[in-house]
Amino acid sequence: METPKAACTTTKALLWRLEGLGPLPRLDKLHERPPGDPRPSPLSVPEDEAVAVLQGGSTYRFFVWRDPVDRLRSAWHEKIHLRRDPGPQWDVWVEALRNELALKPDQDISFDLFVEYICGVPDEIRDPHFMSQRLLILSDHIDYHAVVRMDDYASGMAEVMTTIGVPNSQWPPLDERLNASDSGIAKVSSKTADRIRAAYRPAYTIVEAFQAARAVAGRSSRKAEK
């Protein structure tokens, strides 16, 4: 399940290579399914089949998780500060944001102002780039087998490749990051970070649940070995 601003371009490129679909398209085209794409999606099959894939036992399901502080900073840096997305909807969105914050036309939308607005908006009506991962991955309805943390992406994807039985010789590059926006240069105050963590608390719980389950499984495995 894709989460915008959580290595979605990198992961789509990795899966493209894993499927052997030929040369990578332009990075922005990775987000579109080309005509004749052999990979089915939940929207391209009957509803009962899609539900079976999303909830059944025959499919391995994982998602990539990014700390909401870093994810929101990246979204702001690329979409608001650098204005790299040419989509016309972003001009409309930024103008609406200016109106909400009562900013002058030449006044910058700082990260702090952006967070103040986003954290005050109900999660379900935020743009997907700013929405909690808990909603984006439908975690209340879908059981996942693994989570790949962006701060340990190569190791997490190695575990995915191993689990699904991909021979090491066929692994795509796991440490290659695509479409990086250098958002790390944007400083985040502790006050702003705390506000994000409070507003995005549900996004942390999904990872905490995985870590707790893994710890229990590890203890059970050790007991069985003894």
**pLDDT at 136 (0 to 100):** 92
**pLDDT at 216 (0 to 100):** 65
* pLDDT by position in tens, the chain (length 226): 788 999 999 999 999 999 888 888 888 788 888 777 888 888 888 999 988 888 888 889 999 999 999 999 999 988 888 887 767 778 888 888 888 888 887 788 899 999 999 999 999 999 889 999 999 998 888 888 999 999 999 999 999 999 999 999 999 989 888 776 676 778 899 999 999 999 999 899 988 888 787 776 666 555 665 5
Residues of the domain holding 114: 8-225
**pLDDT at 86 (0 to 100):** 67
Task: Count Cβ atoms within 10 A of the Cβ of residue 17 and give its class: 0-12 exposed, 13-18 middle, 19 or more buried.
Answer: middle
Identify residue 129 by its one-letter amino acid code. Answer: H
Task: Count Cβ atoms within 10 A of the Cβ of residue 200 and give its class: 0-12 exposed, 13-18 middle, 19 or more buried.
Answer: buried
**pLDDT at 131 (0 to 100):** 93
Count CA within 13 A, CB hemisphere, residue 97. Answer: 27
Distance between CA 88 and CA 139 in Å, rounded?
31
| 2 lies in some domain | no
Number of domain units in the chain: 1
Given the DSSP bridges, would you call strands 62-65 and 146-149 parallel, antiparallel or unpaired?
parallel
| 1 lies in some domain | no
Distance between CA 180 and CA 182 in Å, rounded?
6
| 3 lies in some domain | no
**pLDDT at 180 (0 to 100):** 66
